[in-house]
Amino acid sequence: MMNARLKLAALAAAAALAMAGCARKPPPQLPPAPMTEQEQAPVDQGVENAIIPGSRADFLRSVPADRILFDTDMYDVDDRDRAVLDAQAQWLQRYPNVRVTIEGHADERGTREYNLALGDRRANAAKNYLQSRGIAASRMTVISWGKERPEALGSDESAWAQNRRAVTVIPQ
């Protein structure tokens, strides 16, 4: 009997010690609350958000456009497109570690397969031009969206003209 009481007391003491070891003490200092979007972006002299060199925002600020436009069923790079791509090439030469994706797009007319192939030719035309300006092909990825991601909705020439494009995308 005495032995059973002793075992029971020892078991109770062990359980109490185990429970005491599980108690959590609050940390000496709580971590800061998550920052808002405005707090995350560095502020340039308190006036506007600073733009980080080599970022997507820097690219969009530095080049005339992130896209070139094409005529119906065409994928050739004209003089206006060359000026845009020349500016993109200059920016990419300043930031040799930046990789880009060139997206090819088409308007809604035509079959899905035709538009995917046309979008691919448009994206490759932009890539080949950038490559001719000294940008390594290994830094550029090409994807065709065909008519799947229109820039402008509508079934008129204005919408179609905006959707026939190749867009140079810098990751966030």
pLDDT digit string, tens, across residues 35-88: 555 455 554 444 456 889 999 999 999 999 999 999 999 999 999 999 999 999
CA 65 distance to own-chain centroid: 17
Residue with tokens 């494009």: 165
Residue with tokens 């997507």: 56
Give pLDDT, residue 172.
Answer: 78
| In 15-162, beta strands by DSSP E | 43-44, 48-49, 67-69, 100-105, 140-146
- Sheet hosting strand 165-169, strand order edge to edge: 67-69, 165-169, 100-105, 140-146
Question: Which neighbouring-strand residues pair with 166?
Answer: 68, 104
Q: What domains can be seen in the chain, in order of their start residue?
A: 53-169 (3.30.1330.60)
Q: Decide the pairing of beta strands 140-146 and 100-105.
A: parallel
Give the max Cα distance, the chain: 102
Tens digit of pLDDT for each residue in 35-45?
555 455 554 44
Q: Which two tokens stand for residue 25?
A: 């003490």
Residue with tokens 């109490």: 16
Helix (H, G, I), strand (E, B) or coil at 171: coil
Give pLDDT, residue 44.
Answer: 46
